[in-house]
Amino acid sequence: MSAPVTTPEPKSGFNIRDLKNLFGGGGSLKQFGILGALIVIILVFQVWTGGKTLQPGNLINLVQQYSYILILSIGMVMVIIAGHIDLSVGSVAAFTGILVAMAMRDWGIPWWAGLILGLLIGAAIGAWQGFWVAYVGVPAFIVTLAGMLIWRGANQFVGDSATIPVPDGFTVIGKGYLPEVGPATPYNNLTILLGLLIVVVVVIREIRARRTRAVMGAAADPAWLSVLRVVILAIVIMGAAVLFGSGRVGTSFPVSGIILGLLVLLYSFLTSNTIIGRHIYAVGGNKHAAELSGVNSKRVNFFVMMNMSVLASLAGMIFVARSQASGPQDGVGWELDAIAAVFIGGAAVAGGIGTVAGSIIGGLVMAVLSNGLALQGIGSDLVQIIKGLVLLIAVGVDVYNKTQGRPSLIGLMTSRNKTTTGGGDQGRVTASVAPGGGTPDTVTPADNK
């Protein structure tokens, strides 16, 4: 007879050492990684700009100005995890934007139909590029470099290098806000309600996480630590809701921020809790081992390339909506900002490692840097230099940690989640079981070999 399974009792009593597990298990101050750097950068610019950084109007503009880059980083991290790169996203966004603007102007289609048309255009472009990468075997770098030239030229050819305005209804996705509803208060009621809803979700996730660890037989954090974690997150969330909701009348949390938040939730779930998500990590970590485990690498590569172009099209339409017109210079340099956000967020150059949350944090680092330096009147030339140095230092520190046998920043940031799901080793992913059954193989990413 097998020995009965015993569930470890939660730790009891206060121990200062337990604070190291506040936002991740078994780490130290390094576990905060780029998230800690983001907090420091915000505080530095808040002091340096005399409090302008966290003013409601500036935060609202920050979300509107950089939401499209953050959307691109969601798709780009999946491409990079799979071991590829996409240099065409800026051109795809510009080409989609000009076609949608022309369709609404010349054909008179409603704005919502224009939005659907843009997504279909992105899917078609992504299918074209995904075919060359997945089924012909041309490296994604070459395919998307060609795409960058093709779609940029197509944008200027179709639009005749002109600026094409879009109707007011379409601009909602780029420059719209949560409306004013309910009783008169000093804040936007829907923004405050959104903050409360997110706090409820945080509480539910914490409770479910503790129950999951108990069912799996893993030791749970002390109850006081879980309460402290939820309280800190609730204060941050509600503080942000109050700031966004207390802007000038007519403004509140941007619609583009709502779209971004929904995409973050969707793709975080997709990459962490679905078969296709596990397959993306497996292919990026070790393609041949993944194929031996039954993973269809061609299908995975096709999916990540097509998905990237769909998100690029959405980002392009949001930018056009905010600008109220599509122009020939839209999308220039966007691919570089998206790639920088992903690598600052801790993705591995060799593939197999990265998270949606890390990419968003990396994108926010770049956004806050650009915004803060602009508030201080720093020229665009110096801003580019500083952003380049930040990218180089962030990736350099991550690579150095790996060469010294220490976990990468992204590994430290995600250690708690991997422990919860049963994967304790840093940077390891599990390939799905082959259709015929059997035990899943553990695949080690290339950068951890």
Torsion of CA 421, 424, 425, 430, to 10 degrees: -30
Nearest to 34 by CA among 425, 341, 241: 341
Rg value, the chain, Cα: 23
pLDDT (tens digit per residue) in 407-440: 554 454 444 444 433 333 333 444 443 333 333 4
> Per-residue confidence at 442, pLDDT binned at 50, 70, 90?
very low
SS3 helix, strand, coil % of the chain, rounded to 5?
70, 0, 30
Residue 312 neighbours by CB under 8 Å, 6+ apart: 72, 75, 88, 89, 90, 92, 93, 96, 122
Residue 9 neighbours by CB under 8 Å, 6+ apart: none
Percent residues over pLDDT 90 in the chain:
58
Rounded mean pLDDT, 300-323: 96
pLDDT (tens digit per residue) in 268-289: 999 998 999 999 999 999 999 9
Domain residues of the chain, as ranges?
A: 28-174+285-448, 177-253
Residue-wise over 308-335: b if at least 16 C-beta within 10 A, else e? bbbbbbbbbbbbbbbbbebbbebbeebb
Q: What is the pLDDT of residue 415?
A: 45
Mean pLDDT of the chain: 83
What whole-number distance in Å separates Cα of residue 221 and Cα of residue 227?
10
Residue 169 neighbours by CB under 8 Å, 6+ apart: 110, 111, 112
pTM here is 0.83
Which two three-digit tokens encode residue 17? 């050492």
Q: What is the pLDDT of residue 425?
A: 37
What whole-number distance in Å separates Cα of residue 212 and Cα of residue 204?
12
Q: What is the pLDDT of residue 405?
A: 58
Residue 370 neighbours by CB under 8 Å, 6+ apart: 66, 383, 387
Per-residue pLDDT at 183 exceeds 70: yes
Torsion of CA 316, 319, 321, 326, to 10 degrees: -70
**Lowest model confidence (mean pLDDT) among 58-62, 245-249, 406-410:** 406-410
> Per-residue confidence at 14, pLDDT binned at 50, 70, 90?
low
